[in-house]
Structure 1
Amino acid sequence: MSQTPSTKVYNVLVIGGSKGGINTARELERLGAHLPIRITLLEKREAYFHTVGSLRAIVQKDIAKKLWIPYGNLFRNNSRYGHTVVQGVLTRVFPFHIEYANTESPVNFLPFDYLIVATGSIYPEPAKMTSFTAKQGIETSLRYYRCIREAARVLIIGGGPVGVELAGEIATEYPEKRVILVHNQSKLFLDEYKDSFRDRAREQLESLGVQVILNEKVIIPEEKGLEPGGQTRILRTASGRAIESDLQFLCTGISFDTRFMQSLSDNMAGLVDPSTHQIRVRPTLQVRDPRFPHIFAVGDCNDAPCFKLAIHAIAQGKMTARNLRHLIEHDISHQRRDLGRMAPLKLEEYRDRHNLMTVSIGRHRGVTQSRFGLVLGNWYSKMFKSSKSALVDARWRDLHADRENASWLHDEVV
């Protein structure tokens, strides 16, 4: 399709450069190679942060700098319409443009014909990073690395996947340390998983010497919280049990920041669930408000009824790319430009999948619940997750990243 002055180029704007956003953008680039599409990815970080290795990086310091992967070669066919990655923080969403802030200006603008919000979720460090630069993120990982080395007693609050993996990493690397994991339910993880999966994870931890305390809730002092860094504390549970530790990790409390949606509509409750702050979506992953059929939400930030796992974000991103191709092809064939009055189309709907969960417990142990409900032990988990350095290398290849452009790779790790 040759571009003429009358050819409309459709601006597709993706907010968020993690699993959901990247898979939407790259799948649309592939599917829409014949269409007049310009894809812009807005991401707050200067590089992709590979969260799969975040917990391994705080016990093996050489991994930390490899987790930050440049976006420079994300798009493979950007010569025609100029697909690009822009660094900035989304601040406000409007029907056909967004505002964002960066180091140069607090207010910048990007127009769109279609918008995909994939801003993810918020989780305490070091599992997820608040840093916007690779240098700051690496320094954060190394700070936790030093704190762990100096601590004799480590308290982990929360027995979900992050808490279990963190306990396994520390106990494997430092078997001489006392690692205590406290969870407020009778078994690890959520009730939706099989008891045999939950029990096996506990057995794996205890075989490493981790003390697992169940049915106890740790009381966090409201006036101080848990300041980052090593500090000897005595914390009490709701039942009055005292636990002394030199270093504490909070592995609970996934949350969402979708305040940027307030500028889109006076009816905020119609766009965002007031209790969870997740964006309300239809099964097609379009926002539920019928005035905005050209705006989608993908991954953790939406209220689609599924666990917030990477597997769902990836699948939702690819499905959204297919739906966008269909919408744009329909728009071209009918010469429609008013997306607010776009005729209803039959789009794909996202269906919840059986939850595959693989939790690595150090380098040599792990437990998996397959999509078919089978619970598998060390051999399967090791094959997929224990070699996290190999997974990092695979991610570099997948993003076609150039190591020469990652200056932080060449800095000496102290």
Structure 2
Amino acid sequence: MSVMSAAGIPPSTKVYNILIVGGSKAGVTLAMELERLTAHLPVRITILEKREAYFHTVGALRAVVQKNVARKLWIPYDNLFKNNGRYGHTVIQGVLTRVFPFHVEYATIEAPVNFLPFDYLVLATGSTYPDPAKMNSFTAAQGIEISLLYYQSIREAARVLLIGGGPVGVELAGEIATEYPEKRVILVHNQSKLFLDDYKDSFRDRAREELEALGVQVILNEKVILPEEKGLEPGYGTRILRTASGRAIESDLQFCCTGISVDTHFMQSLADNLVQIVDPNTNHLRVRLTLQLRDPRFPHIFAIGDVNDHPCFKLAVHAAAQARVTARNLKHLIEHDVSHQRRDLARMAPLRLEEYRDKANLMTVSIGRHRGVTQSRFGLVFGNWYSRIFKPTKATVVDTRWKDLHAAKDAANWLSEDN
């Protein structure tokens, strides 16, 4: 008679623990692709995520001008895995604190130190950005409250100042100007054109034209001197900020649309010398084109999405594509080693893994509900007609994401009204 564990696993079977840290676009895409590719393998997938639910950032800026959107952006992880299988795929809420060669430490409200072992680790911790573009709250209730606070502040403000003319600043300006055409919306950017110079001038010029058509005042070549007090919290009230040239700008509400950053402090426990792992200037994790850490001591640790130093633009489309490449590489590694039923890093060295080489960038920025600008992979620039015909509405995108994560159609009510 064969002996089986309580989970129905033969005791001699080596179960490969794949730990994914981060449950946003990159992490969730990886988990779902891994579940599909490794259904025949002894694999246990665990996601460690700081938030209690998936936050769909694509609608974050729409949520501060339309009250009913915020609740739809938080999607429960309950049904993420189609088949948890006998190996028990799961999502755990916690904050990563330290990484070691074969386990991590994380903190929860209940316990400051917890442990998770892994055979393969994928860091998909993303980046941080000022609210409301990327919600930094850990619970849906807190996140919704923040969105509604900004919503109310925008309603009450007559003059709104946006500092930074990148994708977030441009999109937020468009959202506010579309919803409230009577308000004065001012966008200040410290370069001669909007966005970075990686994009064609015609793309950057077209975005400015679309904003100005909505009545947005675009001020270029000016750097706003931010106040010493922390942040630009809504509710502060009317204030005058000055630019480096001395220009005074008065507004009732201010948004800082700059300041994207990457936090990789948790890697300090992995090695004494972090130069091969963390870029000291940007804090990005150094990776090979295979998305493994560049340090040869850790071929079983990958980093995908915003947190790595891959030269591609930090866009969601690249994060998802990197996740799919990593899923195929992990499948290849496990299939190669599964017959040995043991962890052996030396066996990984001669294996040829797939490299991630991004294609030319497709960039689309929404400017309100009816406008937008797109630069195709071939360098062609399109305006509003492309957005209207080919780009799905944000409502459609949000609804599709609920379906992608296998959440019930009416599951937006999972957060009770009194929470």
| TM-score between both structures, scaled by the size of structure 2 | 0.95
Q: Which residue of 2 aligns with 1:293?
A: 299
C-alpha distance in structure 2 between counterparts of 1:202 and 1:273, whole Å: 34
Q: Which residue of 2 aligns with 1:317?
A: 323
C-alpha distance in structure 2 between counterparts of 1:306 and 1:322, whole Å: 20
One of 48, 55, 70 as aligned partner of 1:49: 55
C-alpha distance in structure 2 between counterparts of 1:404 and 1:366, whole Å: 30
Identity of aligned residues (%): 78
Q: Which residue of 1 aligns with 2:364?
A: 358
Moved more, 381-390 or 63-72: 381-390
Gaps of 5+ in 1: none
- Alpha-carbon distance change, 72 to 281 in structure 1, aligned in 2, over 3 angstroms: same
1:387-406 to 2 correspondences below 5 Å: 387-402=393-408, 406=412
Shift in Å, 1:77: 1.5
Q: Which residue of 2 aligns with 1:8?
A: 14
Shift in Å, 1:377: 1.1
C-alpha distance in structure 2 between counterparts of 1:259 and 1:228, whole Å: 29
C-alpha distance in structure 1 between counterparts of 2:322 and 2:238, whole Å: 43
Secondary structure at 1:392 match in 2? helix
Moved more, 52-61 or 72-81: 72-81
What do residues 220-245 of structure 1 show as CA deviations (whole Å, max 9, x unaligned)?
12344423434211111111110000
Does the Cα contact within 8 Å between 1:182 and 1:217 map onto a contact in 2?
A: yes
Return the letter of the residue paired with 2:83.
Answer: N
Secondary structure at 2:241 match in 1? strand
Q: Which residue of 2 aligns with 1:141?
A: 147
One of 37, 41, 61 as aligned partner of 2:43: 37
C-alpha distance in structure 1 between counterparts of 2:93 and 2:190, whole Å: 39
Residues 1:86 and 2:103 aligned together: no
Return the letter of the residue paired with 1:134.
Answer: A
Q: Which residue of 1 aligns with 2:204?
A: 198
C-alpha distance in structure 2 between counterparts of 1:387 and 1:342, whole Å: 44
Cα RMSD, aligned residues only: 1.6
Shift in Å, 1:371: 1.1
- Alpha-carbon distance change, 61 to 230 in structure 1, aligned in 2, over 3 angstroms: farther
Residues 1:214 and 2:220 aligned together: yes
What do residues 346-405 of structure 1 show as CA deviations (whole Å, max 9, x unaligned)?
001111221111111001111111111111111222345562111111110111113565
Residues 1:123 and 2:123 aligned together: no
Residues 1:151 and 2:193 aligned together: no
C-alpha distance in structure 1 between counterparts of 2:353 and 2:158, whole Å: 55
C-alpha distance in structure 2 between counterparts of 1:79 and 1:44, whole Å: 24
C-alpha distance in structure 2 between counterparts of 1:278 and 1:96, whole Å: 21
Secondary structure at 2:69 match in 1? helix
Moved over 2 A (4+): 221-230, 333-336, 338-344, 382-386, 402-413
Secondary structure at 1:269 match in 2? coil
Does the Cα contact within 8 Å between 1:403 and 1:409 map onto a contact in 2?
A: no
Return the letter of the residue paired with 1:117.
Answer: L
- Alpha-carbon distance change, 337 to 409 in structure 1, aligned in 2, over 3 angstroms: closer
What do residues 180-234 of structure 1 show as CA deviations (whole Å, max 9, x unaligned)?
0000111111101011111110000000000000011001123444234342111
Secondary structure at 1:75 match in 2? coil
Q: Which residue of 2 aligns with 1:265?
A: 271
| TM-score between both structures, scaled by the size of structure 1 | 0.96
Shift in Å, 1:147: 0.3
C-alpha distance in structure 1 between counterparts of 2:234 and 2:154, whole Å: 12
What do residues 109-164 of structure 1 show as CA deviations (whole Å, max 9, x unaligned)?
11000000000001010000111111100000000000000000000000000000
C-alpha distance in structure 1 between counterparts of 2:315 and 2:28, whole Å: 15
